[in-house]
Amino acid sequence: MPLSPEEPQIHEKAQGPRATPAGGRTASTPRPVPGPRPAAPPRPGRPGPVRPVPPAQRASRDTAAAKPGPPGPAAPATAPASPQIQLIPASPEGALDAADEAVDLLLDSGRAPGDVLVITTGKPHPWAAHELSFGDAAYWAQHDAGDDVFYADAAVADRAASRAVVVVVVNGGPEAAAATALSVAHSRAGALLIVCGDPQRINSVLGAGV
């Protein structure tokens, strides 16, 4: 194989005395022996010298693969998901009608009536007023049955169980009632929280840390 120009052949007369090859063989035909040369970097068609990986690095990788590190913080996916919030602008006088329309749309889209809880901050919903006329026990029996939309005042909303959709009707009442309704609704809503009312008032309540 011809030598490359970068690797000059060293003629025998330039070399020192040869030692007798191992195994008792005698060298009958002298041949050129290249002298020492620095290792060349790898090139296309000619791999360079193999560089062994330091044992410390290999041990570090093996140890890291065999021994997982300490568990990190819980992934966000494992944490309870916050409900989606939808705001429907309405005046205090029109918030109840806006809520009824929102409930009708939910039922028309396939939501079961038992999936919906409605919380009012001012005047009670006519359905709640009608059911309460039969007594408190009958009213909460409707809630426990869980087969129909349930309407509750903000003052008693904390007794209501969680439902997939909670609608808050900001139709008057003190700021404390709106704050209570929004706080309870956020904790009870599984998938969707709808707030019907004056956006400025709602945002002021939310900005207060609700």
- The answer to whether 154 touches 173, Cβ cutoff 8 Å, is yes
Q: How many CA atoms lie within 13 A of 158 on its CB side?
A: 5
Q: Measuring CA to CA, which residue among 184, 133, 131 is closest to residue 155?
A: 184
Q: Is the pLDDT of residue 11 over 90?
A: no
pLDDT > 80? residue 98: yes
Per-residue pLDDT tens over the stretch 159-188? 999 999 999 999 999 999 999 999 999 999
Q: Give the pLDDT confidence score for residue 147 in this predicted structure.
A: 94
Would you state the torsion angle of the CA atoms of residues 96, 102, 104, 106, taken in this order, to the nearest 10 degrees? -150
As a whole number of Å, the end-to-end CA separation of the chain is 84
Where do runs of H (alpha helix) occur along 38-119?
Answer: 55-66, 95-108
pLDDT at 35 over 70: no
If we measure between CA atoms, which residue out of 187, 190, 169 comes closest to residue 178?
169
Residue 89 main-chain phi, psi, to 5 deg: -65, 135
- Of 123, 127, 187, nearest to 155 by C-alpha is 123
The whole model's pTM is what? 0.62
pLDDT digit string, tens, across residues 51-84: 455 555 444 444 444 455 555 555 444 445 789 9
pLDDT of 159 reads 95
